Structure 1
């Protein structure tokens, strides 16, 4: 299983820093991963 795409959407918030979507093997997508401080 390989990571084929990563999208980072920055958010201007005190604790929440970004949302991330990751695509594995160009078919399996994991969305709404939250990057927090």
Structure 2
């Protein structure tokens, strides 16, 4: 399993407790393969 898939799975498991905007931002970061500040 690729790291990105793992991250997406983690996101899905905590999705309920996160604000939708934060999830959108996180998914965008994952898709672009970029982390802000790195």
| TM-score range relative to shorter protein | under 0.3
Per residue, is there more strand in 1 or in 2? 1
What is the TM-score of this pair, normalised by structure 1?
A: 0.19
Greater fraction of residues in helix: 2
Structure-2-length-normalised TM-score? 0.19
